[in-house]
Chains A and B, each alone.
Chain A
Amino acid sequence: MESICESNKQYRRQMLIWAVTYCVVTYASVYTLKNAGIEHFGLRTLIALTPMLPIAWVGVIIMRFIRSLDELQQKMQFEAVVFSAVMTGLLTGAYGFMEGVGYPKLDTIWILPMLMIFWVIGQALARRRYK
């Protein structure tokens, strides 16, 4: 069985490679859409969606990492994910109603970073609970 320490190292390495790949792909996508003069709507859609490939890949990396954790760490991750889902649901739901009374429309692209931020906060709270 792979040790937890080795899994952590491997996870950090994979996340670093992922972050670099995501930045390169996103930059290339935006640059191509702005400068390549592509008019075809279908092709522009495909190019706009290319950053979703590394995003799907990070999902696989995270799932593998969580499977490598021990039972308490998995429980803590579960609590953190639930916290993140609840907080994101509350905030996006509340803002959705506020948009109904005239607040400016916000881009849905902010939902994923919001989930990630609340996930990190949830992890810190879980760590404190089981200390």
Chain B
Amino acid sequence: MKNSLKELRTEAGWSQVALGEKLGVSRQTIIALENGKYDPSLKLAFSLAKVFERRIEDIFTNE
């Protein structure tokens, strides 16, 4: 699954640590998400959508 997390995070001006703190996850998890190495759970995907004020399908694409 592809995602636009890195672009969204950069746009918001947040570091990986800051985003991790907002979501309650580690920087390691943010890195894995951004690199497409890990697909989040539905719960985390909803949290990401809430933090970035986007719909889940605007952040993740099934490619």
- Bound Cα distance from A72 to B30, whole angstroms: 10
* Pick from A1, A3, A72: contact of B29, CB under 8 Å: A72
How many chain B residues have a CB neighbour from A under 8 Å? Answer: 15
Within 8 A of B (CB), among A42-85: 69-73, 75
Distance of B38 from chain A, by nearest CB (Å): 5
Evaluate contact between B25 and A131: CB separation under 8 angstroms. Answer: no
Q: Provided the pairs A1-B24, A71-B25, A72-B25 are in contact, do residues A131 and B31 lie with their beta carbons within 8 angstroms?
A: yes
How many chain A residues have a CB neighbour from B under 8 Å? Answer: 13
CB of B41 within 8 Å of the partner chain: yes
A-B interface contact total, Cβ < 8 Å: 37
> Apart from A70-B29, A72-B25, what 12 extra A-B contacts exist at CB < 8 Å?
A3-B24, A4-B20, A4-B26, A69-B26, A70-B26, A71-B40, A71-B44, A72-B32, A75-B38, A127-B28, A131-B31, A131-B32
CB of A130 within 8 Å of the partner chain: yes
CB of A129 within 8 Å of the partner chain: yes
Q: Provided the pairs A71-B44, A72-B32 are in contact, do residues A130 and B26 lie with their beta carbons within 8 angstroms?
A: no
Q: Provided the pairs A130-B32, A131-B31, A131-B32 are in contact, do residues A72 and B38 lie with their beta carbons within 8 angstroms?
A: yes
Distance of B53 from chain A, by nearest CB (Å): 22
Q: Provided the pairs A71-B44, A72-B32 are in contact, do residues A130 and B25 lie with their beta carbons within 8 angstroms?
A: no
Contact with A along B12-44 (1 / 0, CB 8 A): 000000001100111011011001011011001
- Chain A positions within 8 Å of B, measured between CB atoms, are 1, 3-4, 69-73, 75, 127, 129-131
- Bound Cα distance from A110 to B38, whole angstroms: 35
- Bound Cα distance from A3 to B17, whole angstroms: 12
Distance of B21 from chain A, by nearest CB (Å): 7
Closest 8 A/B residue pairs (Cβ): A70-B25, A72-B29, A130-B32, A130-B37, A4-B26, A72-B38, A70-B29, A71-B41
